[in-house]
Amino acid sequence: MPWYIKIERGIVDKTTFDRHVPAHLAYVKNLESHQAKTGYWRESAGGMLIFEAQSYEEAKKIVEQDPLILNHCVEYELHEWVQVGGAPL
């Protein structure tokens, strides 16, 4: 199954963002069948979600249901990731 990466940049203040983080984490936890993992950039406002999906269309639907997107906390880019080196994920 292809891997997808949502790269996000925070667009709201930290207090607003932090209010939606628990719902985001719960959402990601429910994506276990997609092997989803999430994290943030230590040096700036934003982060990344990496996950498997059958297609770009499915990946886009998954991203659009993320509470950080639904609550307009981040702008994002969605990319299909093609691994070319290292141990397979």
Q: What is the pLDDT of residues 34-51, one digit of tens each?
A: 999 999 999 888 899 999
pTM (two decimals): 0.90
Report residues of the chain scoring pLDDT below 50: none
Rounded CA separation 45/43 (Å): 7
Domain for residue 87, yes or no? no
The count of domains in the chain is: 1
Q: What Cα–Cα distance (Å) separates residue 2 from each residue in 22, 33, 64, 70?
A: 27, 13, 18, 24
CATH of the domain at 75: 3.30.70.1060
Which structural domain range is residue 55 located in?
3-81
Rounded CA separation 67/73 (Å): 8
SS3 at position 1:
coil
Amino acid at 13: D
Domain for residue 43, yes or no? yes
